[in-house]
Chain A
Amino acid sequence: MAFSNPISNLFGKSPILPLQDHMSLVVRCATQLEPFFEAAIADNWPQATNIFNQIVEYENKADELKKDFRLNMPNSLFMPVPRGDLLSILAQQDEIANTTKDVCGIVLGREMDIPTALQTDFMGFVQSAIETCQKALTAINELDELLETGFTGQEVKFVKKLIRELDAQEQKVDKKELKLRHRLFKLEADMPPVDVMFLYSTIDNIGAIADTAERVGNSLELLLAK
């Protein structure tokens, strides 16, 4: 007998958990930036290649999750949050993984040399950017609790606090980026110009990863406002 049941068909697949799974994969991908740059600074390129392959794998998996997510979001779904907002959060999350892959791809391809004088600051900058992503994940992980409370009350206050922390973290990254660029500016005259150009762009892109993580938090805040 064919099975179609009004009660079970009424329930769609909740988008919350898949969105959280996607974000946790994306952040795992971005976290690889730290060991990757450690290997790059140590001039250990085989190790860097291994880590890059891992990053590519995470990024591909995240892409698959993204496709699944979109396929499971027909127009006829009635959700406590607007469909468009969820899709834009998903796109922003995905961008974190994409940028991570791009940054590492160029560094690996050029076997990029990071000047010794910059190394400590550079690693601190990378760690801060990763931390921003992790804070965004913490906020996104509250989505199921938000749903449980129906987007009201204490939980909303709690998530707003998490988002404020995320914003503060991103500002820290901005400051570190500014400082790092300034120090690079001091060194650039003695470096090959093409290397300098790519180093600037790498710094930019890592800053962009933190920016995107902050935007994820801001989109989450939009969901609270409705």
Chain B
Amino acid sequence: MELFTEHGTILIIMAAMFGFFMAWGVGANDVANAMGTSVGSKALTIKQAILIAMVFEFAGAYLAGGEVTSTIRKGIVDSGVFTNQPDLLVFGMLSALLAAGTWLAIASFMGWPVSTTHSIVGAIVGFAAVGVSYDAVNWSKVSTIVASWVVSPVMAGTISFAIFRSVQRLILIQDNPFERAKKYAPMYMFAVGFLMAMVTLLKGLKHVFKDIGIKLSFGENALVAVGFGILVTIIGTYLLSKVERDESKEEGNRFYNVEKVFAVLMIFTACSMAFAHGSNDVANAVGPLAAVVNVVNAGGDIAAKSSMPSWILLLGGGGIVVGLATYGFKVMGTIGRKITELTPSRGFAAELGAAATVVLASGTGLPISTTHTLVGAVLGVGMARGIGALNLRMVGSIFLSWVVTLPAGAALSILFFFFFKGVFGS
């Protein structure tokens, strides 16, 4: 197609810029939400949290982020409609990136709790449904995604409720909570390691293995995941062996030393949270960019089979790191200072519930909001009478942000779509 030979480079550069902008936004806001609970409960310092975020966000995006990226790239729109007009898909994805990025900037400025995921999905649906045609949207997929936005916080809440209840049963209500904590903490560590490895093997690495000619059965996958879980448990047990009981601190708070054990456990859930977040949210920035690059490089052939160039993922990961380094650490610090009431035993239950939900969603390719899932998980711990005070008004403002974000992202995206069409189109 003439457009792509003439303007291909500039289109890709623009998409890369907008994608980087989105990734920056994810790093500046979303990552801080995902990691803030660890900082708030003093399990990690801000520096440690950022270091963990950098490594595990990247790992999550690279190892388990493929399914969500492909949903954003080609699952929401019906690619059949674009076969004869690939330029519209390119303009659309560019507009969606720009619209979601702009909307996130406005919302952050106004202090609204919006979700990156909702912005980008709203923007893609917007340009496709209004800019192209009603049929250009894969509505059944979109309704699954919207349903997952309701299900994910509920599911995270249920899981963290159950986890916290088990912590109460097994550890907190016992006569010797410190010994019990040391005994049972490795079990939770194993669960963290096993879950992350299992989802990564089953979903994320499927394509990688296929490329190099390895095919593992479900049982073999499970075996590898068990191995990974055991490895995590060994590392954890080593770290736990360094936790000494300081009886002098127990006078004011008899659970001081128990919480120290949970703080170690929280290092692992923080890693899994960053991994889960990377597997789900990096796609928001990288998915549309990948769509643009694929179409342009294939000269407009949408059906062409292409793997995602690795520089796209690097750009997404790099944007997140820059976002973290420039602004995210500030947000993390503010969150950390504000949620001092969260102790490691609670933070661990909430993070594990949220991370499990997010990584499962990533495995099925559903783009969900990590922040909303975490809010659901925290409420779950609250339901188990675990948290001093939760502000339910937040739940209301999250619903409000839903109602506003989807049409706002869509409207901006439609606006940009016609703008790009006017500038580049014939």
Contacts and interface: CB of A to CB of B under 8 A. Distances in A.
B113 A80 contact: no
B389 A79 contact: yes
Nearest to B371: A6
Given A4-B111, A8-B36, A76-B393, A147 B388 contact: yes
A78 B393 CA distance: 10
Given A7-B374, A148-B255, A155 B173 contact: yes
B388 A14 contact: yes
B391 A77 contact: yes
A80 B109 contact: no
B254 A12 contact: no
Interface in A26-81: 74, 76-80
Contacts of B108: 1-2
Contact of B255 (A7, A16, A76, A145): A145
B22 interface: no
Interface in A1-20: 1-16
A192 interface: no
B172 A12 contact: no
B384 interface: yes
Interface string B368-382: 000110110011001
Contacts of B84: none
A113 interface: no
Contact of B382 (A6, A74, A80): A80
Contact of A149 (B172, B372, B387, B397): B172
Interface stretch (B47-55, B317-325, B336-344): B336-344
B216 interface: no
A149 B175 CA distance: 12
Contacts of B132: none
A153 B335 CA distance: 32
B85 interface: no
Nearest to B342: A11
A77 B390 contact: yes
Given A6-B33, A78-B389, A154 B334 contact: no
Interface residues of B, number: 50
B253 A11 contact: no
B168 interface: yes
B341 A148 contact: no
A29 to B, nearest CB: 22
B385 interface: yes
Given A1-B108, A2-B111, A10-B394, A15 B389 contact: yes
A150 interface: yes
Contacts of B342: 11
A10 B388 contact: no
B139 interface: no
Given A8-B335, A148-B343, A76 B382 contact: no
Contacts of A5: 29, 32-33, 36, 113, 331, 334-335, 338
Nearest to A153: B173
A144 interface: yes
Contact of B375 (A10, A14, A147): A10
Contact of B109 (A1, A14, A148, A153): A1
A152 B388 contact: no
A16 B168 contact: no
Contacts of A13: 341, 388-389
A198 interface: no
| Residue among A12, A15, A154 having the largest count of chain B Cβ atoms under 10 Å | A12
| Residue among A2, A150, A151, A152 having the largest count of chain B Cβ atoms under 10 Å | A150
A11 B339 contact: yes
B392 interface: yes
B172 A153 contact: yes
B385 A10 contact: no
Contact of B390 (A3, A10, A16): A10
Interface of A: 1-16, 74, 76-80, 144-145, 147-155
13 contacts: A6-B398, A7-B374, A9-B391, A9-B394, A11-B40, A11-B387, A14-B389, A78-B379, A147-B385, A148-B172, A149-B172, A150-B164, A150-B173
Interface of B: 29, 32-33, 36-37, 40, 108-113, 164, 168, 172-175, 253-255, 331, 334-335, 338-339, 341-343, 345, 371-372, 374-375, 378-379, 382, 384-394, 397-398
